[in-house]
Amino acid sequence: MTDMDHRLAQLRQRFITRCRADLAMVEADDTTAQDLQHIAHRIVGMAGTVGLNELGMAAAQLEDVLRRGDQITNARQALLSELRTITETNS
């Protein structure tokens, strides 16, 4: 493993750790739309960099829905599903 690969692996692990906290926030009923948009935006910005493209796409979808003011239930559930998958498989 090269030094760059090692750094990327560390970055990915820190991101996954952050996703655990994000999962709790996205699951919470009292999380505001503004907070959800912030979380989704942050995930979009990092997910592709660390090779979690499906998570990034789910976050982008939620971000778009929130920006338009549409019903967020399906997009929120899709992001929750991806966050659960990432955090459970990387425990």
Q: Could you tell me the residue ranges of all domains in the chain?
A: 3-89
Phi-psi region of 75 (alpha: psi -120 to 50; beta: other; left: phi over 0): alpha
* pLDDT tens per residue across span 24-67: 999 999 999 999 999 999 999 999 999 999 999 999 999 999 99
Phi-psi region of 51 (alpha: psi -120 to 50; beta: other; left: phi over 0): left
Q: Shortest CA distance to 33 belongs to which of 71, 81, 78?
A: 71
- C-alpha–C-alpha distance, residues 74 and 72, integer Å: 6
Average pLDDT, the chain: 94
Global pTM value: 0.89
- C-alpha–C-alpha distance, residues 85 and 80, integer Å: 9
Phi-psi region of 47 (alpha: psi -120 to 50; beta: other; left: phi over 0): alpha
* pLDDT tens per residue across span 23-35: 999 999 999 999 9
pLDDT at 38: 96
- Phi–psi pair at 28, nearest 5 degrees: -65, 135
